């Protein structure tokens, strides 16, 4: 019997002003009429933090932090600045890896900082289309996991996000997702974690039309949702499918 928490995580990326985030959270809060079993996390842009949110049923996360706690890093935001405003931190998103040259080593430093401050990291990993075509999925995931989790001994949430499925409308098939999630659990076991205890979310073009089926997959412990999370009713529908799967 699996005993892992399930998550529904909204990643707004660079969308929504502070007042739009407040409206979204107010609406979402009013739609939820029972205490969620799903861990519901909304990650707005950092500029939305500090606003008055209805946060009794919804957790707040951020999309990135700097690995340093303070210092001369123009334009950056440290964990100390978000500390009391958020509980989760998305790390290693493929857009950060691609557009901001984030390496596994840098992600590892960020992860250690997040854990030091007792926030929960959501570590994103996933292969590109080229890596998949070259049969390098296992190698890629193993490298990402072992480097990002170096010197880490607490469990973190993993988001499997194949790069080719993010924002493309092309969701991975159930077979691909199950295979990758099992691969990830085996790699976690190999590098000293208990893979059965770690929640692995799927991300990549999740929407209200595919979420119902994907959440029935045994190894899928929830979703990291980009585009479809921007519409509150759409995000709520996905959350409901996860709630119904308990």
The binding site for ligand PGA (CB under 6 A) comprises 11, 161, 166-167, 203-206, 224-228
> What's the closest the beta carbon of residue 215 comes to ligand PGA, in angstroms?
15
Looking at beta carbons only, is 48 or 81 nearer to ligand PGA?
A: 48
Looking at beta carbons only, is 81 or 161 nearer to ligand PGA?
A: 161
> What's the closest the beta carbon of residue 98 comes to ligand PGA, in angstroms?
11
Surface-to-core class of residue 130, CB atoms within 10 Å of its CB (0-12 exposed, 13-18 middle, 19+ buried): exposed
Chain-centroid distance, C-alpha 234: 18
Count the residues in the chain. 246
Residues near 17 by Cβ (< 8 Å), separated by ≥ 6? 47, 48
Surface-to-core class of residue 35, CB atoms within 10 Å of its CB (0-12 exposed, 13-18 middle, 19+ buried): exposed
Catalytic residue, candidates 120, 161, 181, 234 = 161
Q: Is the sign of the CA dihedral 89, 10, 28, 36 positive or negative?
A: negative
201: nearest Cα among 20, 32, 43: 43
Looking at beta carbons only, is 11 or 113 nearer to ligand PGA?
A: 11
Exposure class string for 133-169: b at 16+ Cβ within 10 A, else e = eeeebbebbbebbbebbeebeebbbbbbbbbbbbeee
> What's the closest the beta carbon of residue 164 comes to ligand PGA, in angstroms?
10
Helices 137-148, 174-190: axis angle to 10 degrees equals: 40
> What's the closest the beta carbon of residue 59 comes to ligand PGA, in angstroms?
16
Q: Is 161 a catalytic residue?
A: yes
> What's the closest the beta carbon of residue 94 comes to ligand PGA, in angstroms?
7
> What's the closest the beta carbon of residue 33 comes to ligand PGA, in angstroms?
26
Between CA 23 and CA 17 the distance in angstroms is: 10
Looking at beta carbons only, is 63 or 81 nearer to ligand PGA?
A: 63
- Name 90's bridge partners: 122
Looking at beta carbons only, is 81 or 208 nearer to ligand PGA?
A: 208
Please identify the residue of the shown chain whose CB is closest to the bound ligand PGA. 226
123: nearest Cα among 42, 234, 9: 9
Catalytic residue, candidates 93, 102, 127, 181 = 93
Q: Is 52 a catalytic residue?
A: no
Looking at beta carbons only, is 28 or 206 nearer to ligand PGA?
A: 206
Between CA 187 and CA 173 the distance in angstroms is: 21
Catalytic residues: 93, 161
């Amino acid at each position: 019997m699996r005993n892992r928490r399930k998550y529904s995580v909204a990643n707004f990326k660079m969308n929504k002003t502070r007042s739009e985030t407040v409206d979204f959270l107010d609406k979402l809060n009013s739609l939820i009429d029972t205490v969620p079993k799903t861990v519901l996390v909304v990650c707005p842009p950092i500029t939305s933090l500090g606003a008055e949110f209805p946060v009794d049923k919804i957790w707040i996360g951020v999309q990135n932090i700097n690995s340093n706690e303070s210092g001369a890093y123009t334009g950056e935001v440290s964990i100390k600045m978000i500390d009391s405003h958020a509980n989760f931190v998305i790390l290693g998103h493929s857009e950060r890896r691609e557009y901001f040259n984030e390496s596994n080593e840098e992600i590892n430093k960020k992860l250690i900082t997040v854990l030091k401050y007792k926030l929960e990291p959501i570590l994103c990993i996933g292969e590109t289309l080229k890596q998949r075509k070259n049969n390098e999925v296992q190698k890629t995931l193993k490298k990402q996991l072992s480097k990002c989790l170096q010197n880490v001994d607490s469990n973190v949430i993993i988001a499997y996000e194949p790069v080719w499925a993010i924002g493309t409308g092309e969701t991975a098939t159930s077979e691909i997702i199950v295979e990758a999630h099992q691969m990830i659990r085996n790699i976690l076991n190999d590098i000293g974690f208990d893979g059965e205890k770690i929640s692995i979310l799927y991300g990549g073009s999740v929407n209200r039309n595919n979420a119902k089926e994907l959440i029935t997959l045994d190894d899928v412990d929830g979703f990291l949702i980009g585009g479809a999370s921007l519409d509150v009713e759409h995000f709520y529908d996905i959350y409901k499918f996860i709630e119904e799967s308990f």
